[in-house]
Amino acid sequence: MSRARIKDIAAELGLSPATVSRALSHSPLVAEPTRSRVREAALRLNYRPNVSARNLRTQRSMAVLMVVRDIGNPFYLDIVKGVEAAAREAGYVVLMGNTENNPEREIEYFDMLRDGHADGMILITGKLPGGESLFQQLKDLPVVVALEPIEKSGFPHVMIDNTGAASEAVKHLISLGHRRIAHIAGPVPEPMATLRREGYRQAIKAAGLELRPEFEGIGDYLLSSGERICRQFFSLPEPPSAIFAANDEMAFGAINELRRMALCVPNDVSVVGFDDIFLSQAFYPPLTTVSQPRAAIGREAMRLLLEVMHGEGHTGETIMMPTTFQTRASTGPARSRRPHRRSA
């Protein structure tokens, strides 16, 4: 059976081949009802694009880069699923880039974009490579920033309200009667870590509680830093009764360290995380955390990137995605006595 072509879809729907071609490439010049009809007909007729011919004709790679700082972090899994689902619908493949916070790798991925190995980039690293001179060469590239903001970049962003969500997490602890609440921050001064720390501070101030510098520690989003900072908190004469960590992995580390000290979560200490990765429900106790719609964020970032690649003007646009608060078994009412470190 011969493969269906664009002109076959056009004949089926009574449209011009040019309209069908634009619809299949998600061009904003074609209204959504027509795009849906074309996609349905393409599936029905088993249409598959001739990628090699299209690439030669359009001078496009039909690939996009998704660049993250640590591909081993399970946080990115649902984002990748969302990006890939939207990319596949538009006929694109997704290439993964892993920087591991290496400046040379960061530059290499931007070079791939500049050299035409990819048509666009979704950037989830929280920073741009190089200095001001290099940024001037990058600022006109088709890039969408997701989740980790890059201030003054001029790129469109798909974000959550980090400050508001962090504040809500701390208010939950306050509502349970906790007054000595510590915070394990991300790598301040990076913007996302700073915004979440600001949410913690706002909630503490709004409740009339004292902001205690010894109740703040700076981590790196890894489990080991959660363990390390938790040890610091419980070496204090007056340790906290609750901990808010800037991501789930550091919250897991804090709970691990509390167990080593023979402290019970949540009876002795309550712990809240941020992100709601899939391990949060499987961990014991199941983690109270801020949930991000990661798959929806991935889809929205890809949708916005498609518009940018088609020449839509989105300079500086920020799309805010909603979060929800998941109350689970790692938080409970504050106890009247103070938790003290005990030997395991």
Question: What does each of the 344 residues of the chain score in pLDDT, given as a tens digit?
Answer: 466 888 889 998 999 988 888 888 777 778 888 988 988 888 888 787 655 445 444 457 889 999 998 888 889 999 999 999 999 988 899 999 999 888 888 888 988 898 888 999 999 998 888 766 666 767 788 999 999 998 888 899 999 999 999 999 999 999 999 999 999 999 999 999 999 999 999 999 999 999 999 999 999 999 999 999 999 999 999 999 999 999 999 999 999 999 999 999 999 999 999 999 999 999 999 999 999 999 999 999 999 999 999 887 666 789 999 999 999 999 999 986 655 555 44
- CATH number 2.140.10.30 is the correct assignment for the domain at 6-48: no
The predicted model scores a pTM of 0.79
* CA pair distance 94, 62, nearest whole angstrom: 9
pLDDT at 303: 94
List all residues 6 or more positions away from 139 whose beta carbon is below 8 Å from its beta carbon: 153, 154, 155
* CA pair distance 332, 242, nearest whole angstrom: 9
Q: CATH assignment of 60-160+293-321?
A: 3.40.50.2300
Asked, colleague to colleague, whether 60-160+293-321 and 162-292 share their fold, the answer is yes
pLDDT at 292: 96
- CATH number 3.40.50.2300 is the correct assignment for the domain at 162-292: yes
Tokens for 199?
A: 């949410």
Residue 269: HSE in the Cβ half-sphere, 13 Å Cα cutoff: 31
* CA pair distance 180, 165, nearest whole angstrom: 20
What does the domain layout of the chain look like in residue ranges? Answer: 6-48, 60-160+293-321, 162-292
